[in-house]
Amino acid sequence: MVEPEGTLADRLAAMRAGIADAARASGREPEELTLIAVTKFHPASLVRALHALGVRDFGENRHQEAREKAAELADLDGVHWHFVGQLQSKKARQVREYASVVHSIDREALVTALARPADGEATLDAFLQVNLTDDPARGGARPDDAPRLAELIATEAATGLRLRGVMAVAPLGEEPRRAFARLKAISEQVAIVVPTATEISAGMSHDFREAIAEGATHLRIGTAITGPRPSQE
């Protein structure tokens, strides 16, 4: 992988420009797109630096790490934590304590676990993660199961979940645009059963252009902004 160039501010500016270009190339407005800076494995100080540069949406994929960072950064204004990683059902409830959005709901047990807010807890925004590979061990629901799970989330929404749309990671070894085109078709199926759930969380450092071309609304960008992740244990 090529090391990102320049300072954090340069890389963020380059990514914002790249997103705006890709949006216009697809006849879309850059304002339709939410950039989520994925800060997993990076220290809280990096989140603080990105916040100073105007970033408000941050993605994390491990509950323990996310919880610690959110607590350490509780003084920052207007931060939205997006949980994007695989989630154990028995830990799921705790994610409500800091996250505004969970992108990785992929099975009934998670819907049930998340859909019980404590008194005074805010509504949690939810994306239904879909598995675009043939490997059932990967995170995500089967595409043909997506409408059923979407309906279930929408039903449970009465008790604190709001389905925003679908999420996926492009499989390795497949042209990302083809994979994202499948996700768009799944999104259309979901919108038939839950008409308000039209958003698409897709696109990472190396495939955000293809995701934007296929209708992504939420981009999850890590290394292109942050630089390489510190050792992942």
- Quick one: 140 or 157, whose CB is closer to ligand PLP? 140
- CB-based contact 188:221 (threshold 8 Å): no
- Quick one: 155 or 223, whose CB is closer to ligand PLP? 223
Residues 35, 92, 163, 221: which binds ligand PLP (CB under 6 A)? 221
**Chain residue at closest Cβ approach to ligand PLP:** 222
* Minimum distance of ligand PLP from residue 104's CB (angstroms): 7
Q: What is the DSSP string of 101-131?
A: EEEEE-SHHHHHHHS-PPTTPPPEEEEEEB-
Task: Give bridge partners of residue 201 from the DSSP assignment.
Answer: 167, 218
* Minimum distance of ligand PLP from residue 120's CB (angstroms): 29
* Selected range binding ligand PLP among 4-12, 94-102, 191-199, 220-228, rule: CB under 6 A: 220-228
- Among positions 158-217, residues that touch ligand PLP (CB under 6 A) are 169, 204-205
- Quick one: 61 or 131, whose CB is closer to ligand PLP? 61
Residues 11, 16, 63, 220: which binds ligand PLP (CB under 6 A)? 220
- Quick one: 107 or 220, whose CB is closer to ligand PLP? 220
- Among positions 105-144, residues that touch ligand PLP (CB under 6 A) are none
- Quick one: 150 or 169, whose CB is closer to ligand PLP? 169
- Quick one: 1 or 118, whose CB is closer to ligand PLP? 1
- Among positions 20-79, residues that touch ligand PLP (CB under 6 A) are 38, 40, 61
Size of residue set near ligand PLP by CB under 6 A = 13
Q: What is the DSSP string of the chain?
A: -PPPPS-HHHHHHHHHHHHHHHHHHTT--GGG-EEEEE-TTS-HHHHHHHHHTT--EEEE--HHHHHHHHHHTTTSTT-EEEE-S---HHHHHHHTTTEEEEEEE-SHHHHHHHS-PPTTPPPEEEEEEB--SS-TTSSSB-GGGHHHHHHHHHHHGGGSEEEEEEE--PPTTS-HHHHHHHHHHHHHHHHHHSTT--EEE---TTTHHHHHHTT-SEEEE-HHHH-SPPP--
Binding residues for ligand PLP, per CB under 6 A?
38, 40, 61, 84-85, 169, 204-205, 220-224
